[in-house]
Amino acid sequence: MASIAFKRVSKAFDKHEVIKDLDLTIEDGKFTVLVGPSGCGKTTLLRMIAGLDPQTSGSVLIGGKDVSRIAPGKRGVAMVFQNYAIYPTMSVRENIEFGLVNNKVRKAEREELVEGISKAVGLYEYLERKPSTLSGGQRQRVALARAMVKKPSVFLMDEPLSNLDAKLRVQMRIELIELHKKLGATFVYVTHDQVEAMSMADTIVLMNKGVIQQEAPPDEMYRRPSNRFTAQFIGTPPMNVGELGESGSLFGFRPESAVLSEAQGDEPFSVRGVIATREMLGSETIYQVRSGSGNYMVKCSEDLFAAGQEVYVGVPAAKLHFFGEDERRI
C-alpha cells in the first residue's frame, strides 16, 4: 500500500502553467476524490502520479519514495480511464489477462488470479464473452479487473463512470466503494461531478485553475466551506452568496437552509421577495425568490407556494456563512 505526496509541484505545457506550486498528501488506503471544473488540472495531476506526464518542477512521492525518475510501469499504480480502453477482439478473460501476459506470469497462477478477480467484480460468468456482448457497466468492470490483476497499491481513475447512464452510475459508485473496502488500496478518483465526490470520498480535494481550494471529508466540505468557490461548487443548487451592506464582505446560505413563510419570522436574516420561479421535483421544490437585495434559491421539502406569491426568506443564524473580502477574487 502507498501514500502519495506532491511537493511544490508545478506543471506547464509549453509556457502555460496549469498546476502551480502544489502541495498535497494523499493518504495510504483512503478513497480520495479530486474534483473541480473541467480544465482545472485533474487529469494532469493523475498523469503525474502515473508518470505519463512528468512534472515541470517539484517532486512526486509514492510510498515515501521520489518516483520522478521511475518509469510508469514500475510505479505500482494502475489507471482506469473514462473510455475504458478494452480490446474488442479479445474475450473478457484475455482482456483481464493482458497485463499479466506482459509480465510473464505462469499459466496456472494467471488462471487463478483471473478467476478470483472476475468473481470479485461479477464477471466470472462472462469470461469467454466478447466485450461487444456486454453492458456498459460490465465493460467498465472489465477495465477495473484488468487494473486489479496487476495488484497495484494505487488505483488512479479518471472519470471512469462518465460514459454510463445515470442509474448505472449510481450502482457503480456503490460497487467502487465496496471494491475499495475489499482491496484496501489507495484510490485516487477524478471527477467533475460534486455529487460523485460527496458520495464516494473519504477525502475530497477540490481544485480550481490548478490550485487546491480545500481538502476535507465530504461533510466538512459541505458544512465549513473555506471560501466562496468551495461554497458554490459543493451542493445543488449552489449556495446563495450576497454582499453585506456597506462592508462589502460576503455572506451565504444554502438553498436548503432557508425557510419560506408568508409572515416575517424572527430569523436574523429575513428578506421579503416574490417567487419568480417554482420547480417541483417530486420530493422537493426549488423556488427562486426575487428581492430588493438579490435573487435567492430556496429548496423546500413541501410545495406550498406559487409563482408570483409574496414571501419572506428566513435563515437561522447557525446556517449563515461569512467569507472574507479576499474571497471575492476567486
Q: Which does 188 bind (CB under 5 to 8 A by kind): ligand ADP, Mg ion, none?
A: none
Q: Which does 299 bind (CB under 5 to 8 A by kind): Mg ion, ligand ADP, none?
A: none
Query: Nearer to ligand ADP by C-beta: 52 or 274?
Result: 52
Residues in Cβ contact with 311 at an 8 Å cutoff, skipping those fewer than 6 apart: 260, 261, 262, 272, 273, 274, 275, 287, 289, 305
Which 3-state string (H, E, C) describes 131-168?
A: HHHCCHHHHHHHHHHHHHCCCCCEEEEECCCCCCCHHH
13 binding ligand ADP? (CB under 6 A): yes
User: Per-residue x/- mask for Mg ion, residues 23 to 52, rule CB under 5 A?
Assistant: --------------------x---------
In whole angstroms, the minimum distance from the beta carbon of 210 to ligand ADP comes to: 7
Q: Which is nearer to Mg ion, 205 or 241 (CB)?
A: 205
Distances (CA, A) of 212 to 40, 239, 253: 10, 20, 23
Of the two residues 208 and 240, which places its CB atom closer to ligand ADP in the complex? 208
Smallest gap from Cβ 115 to Mg ion, in A, equals: 34
Instruction: Assess 208 for contact with Mg ion (CB under 5 A).
Output: no
- State how far the Cα of 141 lies from the Cα of 225, in Å rounded to an integer: 34
- Give the three cell numbers for residue 5: 505526496
Closer residue to Mg ion (CB): 43 or 230: 43
Pick the closest to residue 232 from 210, 254, 215, 207 (CA basis).
Answer: 254
Residue whose beta carbon is closest to Mg ion:
43
Cell numbers found for residue 294 = 438579490
**Closest listed residue to residue 160, CA positions, set 88, 51, 84:** 84
Q: Is 32 exposed, middle or buried (0-12, 13-18, 19+ CB in 10 A)?
A: buried
Q: How many helices (H) and strands (E) does the chain have?
A: 8, 18
Is 114 strand, coil or helix?
A: helix
How near is the Cβ of 211 to ligand ADP at its closest, in Å? 12
- Rounded to the nearest whole angstrom, what is the least distance from the CB of residue 233 to ligand ADP in the complex? 13
Choosing among ligand ADP, Mg ion, none, which partner's interface includes residue 44 (Cβ < 5 to 8 Å by kind)? ligand ADP
* Site residues (CB under 6 A) for ligand ADP, limited to 34-63: 36, 38-44
Nearer to Mg ion, 34 or 289 (CB): 34
Residue number with CB closer to ligand ADP (44 or 68): 44
Q: Which residues in this chain contact Mg ion in the complex, by CB under 5 A?
A: 43
Q: Which residues in this chain contact ligand ADP in the complex, by CB under 6 A?
A: 13, 18, 36, 38-44
